[in-house]
Amino acid sequence: MLNTLIKLTNNTIRTMENIVGKDNVLSAYEELLTYSTDSTNITNPDEIAEVVVFVENVQQVSKIMKYAYSKSKPVIARAAGTNLCGACLPKKGGIIIDFAKMNKILEISKDNLICKVEPGVVIEDLQKEVGKLDLFYPPDPSNLKASMIGGSIGLSSGGPHTFKYGATKDFVIDLEVVLSDGTIMHTGSSCSKDVTGYNMTQLFVGSEGTLGIITQATIRLIPKPEAKRVMLAYFDTLEDTSKTVNDIISNLITPSVIDLMDNNTLKTIESFYPCNLKTDKTAALLIEIDGFKEILDSQYNKIIEICNRNNSSYIQTASTKEEEARIWISRRSSFGATAKLAPNVLTEDVVVPRENIVPLVKGIWEICKKYELKTCIMGHIGDGNIHPNIALDLRNPVERYNFDRAKTELFELALSLNGRLSGEHGIGCEKSEFISKALDPNNLEYMKKIKKLFDPKNILNPGKIF
């Protein structure tokens, strides 16, 4: 039996080498083990791929899929592997396609406000390139220095700018996709408006590599805002924090970012990356506005007035680029700082209608206190999207058990507040057992039918979502 398995694996490796060349294939155990994890922090040494393949063009992907289809072999697309829901773990072994080498920006059109990119383009690189032409690609999963277009489309990533500009799904207008049998398909067009048939593009956005493999994307761009202003406003109560968000919006201001950090987050960041945060406050709001210079000053002053009216106990303003950068560095350090509290950090991602943000955050505090979990809460409060970063030692069975209990209660809480299991990180294998509690059963049934239509042999990223 073992010999047959080894022979089959060797066949796969040889076939992959023929398709992409020896230098683009990894098959040593140690190499495969590094691909058996992602930013979810969960590794199972029994669940490793047979082979990792670096692809350079769509034809290679198509050939790999034809082979995998003929052998009913799982295929997992992998970009930077920074997802937080186990979305690219090789649960059933198989072939991992790594897109790091398919990283070309193929076209940027200022007249059409679009660009065409390969899936391995790093988001910050794209933002910089389009920025040179005074254009802007807003979706920014807070780790934009690492995460790639293919992965962010796979999960329809959001991030801090979603409140004003929308998530990845709002920017993708056409995809080149390789289907499970190797067929190459385009889902949309380069037109900014297009209702010619079903919106197939959106079907693939957020599908976590379970319906097809993306080999090219056409993405909408917008003109780059001329200027921005940033501030950090502190509050002693969650109610004042939440009311401030609503009052800013009621005053017809749409901040480009309105993010929340709770007291534990402030304290943890300050312990490891000191940047003069006020660690005695219950919560802080990072508020960024952008647009034409002339209007920003009046909006900035109006926001300060609203914060003061809602009992803000301190407002840290930024008048130079360096001061702005310092505020942003503090916010972007929240995950890294929490990761210093314990060997592992697990990030959750629930979303509720914004009116329920206070009971959600208070409920999370209570659940984590009950299970004695070190938790730093931050999130995109404008979207009602909250991330508890939970620091623990997964080798400790008590902590692991407590985390699993807390996770179940967290999802129950979010659902009881008319919320959902994920606002932007996806389902992966980490939340798949809960999906039937969150979706209308008829909706779930049709999702499964769609999966079967596109992937009758269940070879595309099996064990994810359902």
Ligand X SMILES: Cc1cc2nc3c(=O)[nH]c(=O)nc-3n(C[C@H](O)[C@H](O)[C@H](O)COP(=O)(O)OP(=O)(O)OC[C@H]3O[C@@H](n4cnc5c(N)ncnc54)[C@H](O)[C@@H]3O)c2cc1C
Least distance (Å) from ligand X to the CB of residue 368? 19
Residue carrying structure tokens 């198989």: 94
Our finding on whether 159 is near ligand X (CB under 6 A) is yes
Residue nearest to ligand X (CB): 151
| Residue 143 within binding range of ligand X, rule CB under 6 A | yes
The CA distance from 124 to 108, in Å, is 15
CB 214, min distance to ligand X, A: 4
Tell which one of 19, 58, 75, 77 touches ligand X (CB under 6 A). Answer: 77
Q: Closest distance between ligand X and the C-beta of residue 262, in Å? A: 16
- Other Cβ atoms closer than 10 A to 56: 17
Nearer to ligand X among residue 20 and residue 213 (C-beta): 213
Residue whose CB is less far from ligand X, 142 or 310 = 142
What is the C-alpha to C-alpha distance for residues 1 and 7, in angstroms, rounded to an integer?
10
Residues 88-127 touching ligand X, rule: CB under 6 A, are 88, 99, 119
Nearer to ligand X, 141 or 384 (CB): 141
Among 74, 93, 151, 255, binds ligand X (CB under 6 A): 151
User: Of 230, 247, 231, 234, which is closest to residue 311 (Cα–Cα)?
Assistant: 234
> Of 25 and 88, which has the nearer Cβ to ligand X?
88
Q: Smallest gap, in angstroms, from Cβ of residue 370 to ligand X?
A: 26
**422 contributes a contact to ligand X by CB under 6 A:** no
Nearest-approach distance from CB 8 to ligand X, in angstroms: 23
Task: Decide if residue 310 touches ligand X (CB under 6 A).
Answer: no
Q: Which stretch binds ligand X (CB under 6 A): 10-18, 24-32, 80-88, 182-190?
A: 80-88
Specify the residue, 142 or 402, whose C-beta has the smaller distance to ligand X.
142
Q: Which 380-399 residues touch ligand X, going by CB under 6 A? A: none
Task: Determine which residue in the list 152, 241, 330, 344 makes contact with ligand X, applying CB under 6 A.
Answer: 152
Tell me how many residues contact ligand X (CB under 6 A).
36
Residues 447-466 that bind ligand X (CB under 6 A): 461
Asked if 335 is part of the footprint of ligand X (rule: CB under 6 A), the reply reads yes
Span of 9-17, 74-82, 289-297, 298-306 interacting with ligand X by CB under 6 A: 74-82
> Judged by CB under 6 A, does residue 175 bind ligand X?
no
Task: Report if residue 83 touches ligand X, rule: CB under 6 A.
Answer: yes
Contacting positions for ligand X (CB under 6 A)? 38-39, 76-84, 87-88, 99, 119, 141-143, 147-148, 150-152, 154-155, 157-159, 208-209, 213-214, 335, 424-425, 461
